[in-house]
Amino acid sequence: MMTRLLGVLGGMGPLASAHFMTRLTLLTEASQDQDHVPAILWSDPRIPDRSAALRGDGPDPLPALMRGVDGLRQAGCGAIVMPCNTAHAWHQAMAERAGVPFLHIADATADALRKVAPPPCVVGVMGTAATLAMRLYQDRLSAQGWEVITPDEAEMARLVTPAIASVKANRVAEAFAPLAEAANLLGQRGARAVVLGCTEIPLGIQAGPQDQLHVPLVDTIDALACAARDWARQAG
């Protein structure tokens, strides 16, 4: 049992982590409690802001992230996932520390995207400014045959960044309209699908009428949950 115990490094933000646990449960075929994925959620909202750190105007979150990795390993977890896109800037260091599989959210998303809009084609990516600046998705997806487009600076400032802040402040309903507009604009520019590359974005998208969305969406929370579920199945 311990070999398939999943560690979830969360708190970035707390609502996204809780939503990941819900999606992991709902995306697992089960007829009884014992069929589900055993998991431990390490939800630490005290981890310093990842975007601020990448901009160079905030403390380094890596020590706090490493404490989470150590805690999950000490608990006996056989693999770790992290439902925060921006924190994947430190993924390599954490994966080396973990000593167990540390599933990457962008790789899980590529697997999900391939089912919706297989390459070669144009796809959009939405995320924090820091996630887009570090090219978390652009480089990985481009290497696999997709052409990647993102919101421009004005769209980020007017739509995406404020919407993410609204979700983090528990004003989830306010986030839908700007996020839907941003996704639809990417669709108008030729995107066959749009990756929701921040784990707050799916929460905002789900808060409004889905018939206002005119392009297929790939939810990175769901993609990571499916990858974690599949790992647990293989681990036995």
pLDDT given at position 4: 87
Q: Do 2-104+223-235 and 106-220 fold alike per CATH?
A: yes
The two three-digit tokens of residue 108, written as one number? 């899980």
**Residue 3 has what pLDDT?**
65
pLDDT tens per residue, range 143-155: 999 999 999 999 9
Question: Could you report the per-residue pLDDT of 78-123, keeping only the tens digit for each?
Answer: 999 999 999 999 999 999 999 999 999 999 999 999 999 999 999 9
Nearest to 9 by CA among 80, 104, 101: 80
Query: How far apart (Å, rounded) are the C-alpha atoms in residues 90 and 227?
Result: 20
What residue ranges of the chain have pLDDT lower than 70? Answer: 1-3
Q: Which residue type sits at 16?
A: A
Domain residue limits, the chain: 2-104+223-235, 106-220
**Residue range 106-220, CATH number:** 3.40.50.1860
Looking at the domain 2-104+223-235, which fold is it? Answer: Rossmann fold (3.40.50)
> What would the two tokens of residue 2 be?
């311990």
Q: Using an 8 Å Cβ cutoff, are 112 and 27 in contact?
A: no
What's the pTM value of the predicted model, to 2 decimals?
0.93
38 touches 5 (CB < 8 A): yes
Question: So what's the pLDDT on residue 2?
Answer: 46
